[in-house]
Amino acid sequence: MRIFGKGRHRPSASWRQATDRAFTLIGDGRYEDAGELLTRAADLEPWLSESWFNLALLHKFRHDWEQARAAGLRAVALLDRETGTPDWWNVGIAATALQDWPLARRAWQAYGLKVPGGATTAGEPAGMELGSAAVRLSPEGEAEVVWGRRLDPARIEVLSIPLPSSGRRWGEVVLHDGVPHGERTTSAGHAYPVFDEIELWAPSPVPTWVVLLEAATEADRDALEQLAADAGFAAEDWSSSVRLLCRMCSESRMPSDEGEGVHLDPHDHSEPGHPGPLGHRTDGQLWVPERECGVAAPASLVRGLLDGWIADSPDSRDWRDLEEVC
């Protein structure tokens, strides 16, 4: 059968062998060698959309966005159907990385998503209202899952305060992949996907600080977090918000809260006395006043923020050992 002059047929054995070998090489991180094979496969079957989809995928892994966009456009030009295909999603990611907003809008619409008519002054699609999600920073390294706000199908603004090992900051925007790896659920039963970061899209000028707090009660800790939020920045009690998970647990469906009472999360690999939900459990206590806290705020504000927090309740609050870490 021929459609618009393009032959539709099963790919040859040579195409399948080259493609299978290429994806084995991609799994080993040998992108250059894989590229040679996928280019050969595209030469063998130039009318096959999968040939160009695979090349676009490879270029995405390499963060070569110009090539990813070019190959992705060739793939979608050969599709048998117009909407709902991952080819358009990859085009949307490449276009977003390149800030090619007309193409990004076209890609999301072609995939089947509603894109409102509004746009920012830079032309970015605005008002898609995709809600909250989690993103796995540095997925191939010392991965960390943090919470954020989805700006569009390919970008998340980080709203948690990442640990310094991630190299990321509160308020940064990261480009993320389209297929979730895991979920986080809340006590209310809501499930949120966990996407893998591809690369940093927009840096944040706000540094990350670590500070040791003396907070007599959870209410004292909460007061600092609220004070920082009211100032337009953030504070986060890493002693209770950080869980150490193995890779299998992290990429599964995980509760985002530790629960109530003394029931401990069996997937939590942290230890008493260290950051994590188990960190404040010592000698049967449910609260330890000393907290390791992350603060995202400018250098000109952070000490005043902490001093103001103490001034509101000097008998139950104190801080020490403030250090900029990212």
Whether residue 145 sits in one domain with residue 92: no
**C-alpha–C-alpha distance, residues 272 and 254, integer Å:** 21
Domain extent at residue 229: 126-258+281-325
Whether residue 132 sits in one domain with residue 79: no
The DSSP code for 264 is P
**Residue 73 resides in a domain:** yes
The count of domains in the chain is 2
**C-alpha–C-alpha distance, residues 22 and 37, integer Å:** 6
**C-alpha–C-alpha distance, residues 255 and 272, integer Å:** 20
Whether residue 68 sits in one domain with residue 148: no
**C-alpha–C-alpha distance, residues 218 and 211, integer Å:** 16
Whether residue 215 sits in one domain with residue 320: yes
Whether residue 243 sits in one domain with residue 140: yes
Distances in Å between the Cα of 254 and the Cα atoms of 116, 125, 130, 135, 248 are 32, 31, 21, 14, 10
Whether residue 179 sits in one domain with residue 317: yes
The per-residue pLDDT string of the chain (326 residues; one tens digit each, 9 = 90 and over) reads 233 344 456 789 999 999 999 999 999 999 999 999 999 999 999 999 999 999 999 999 999 999 999 999 999 999 877 667 899 999 999 999 999 999 999 999 999 998 887 667 677 877 777 888 999 998 887 789 999 999 999 999 999 999 998 899 999 999 999 888 888 787 777 888 899 999 999 999 999 999 999 999 999 999 999 999 999 999 999 988 765 544 444 454 446 554 333 444 444 444 544 444 444 444 445 789 999 999 999 999 999 999 999 999 999 999 999 999 99
**Residue 168 resides in a domain:** yes
**C-alpha–C-alpha distance, residues 84 and 209, integer Å:** 43
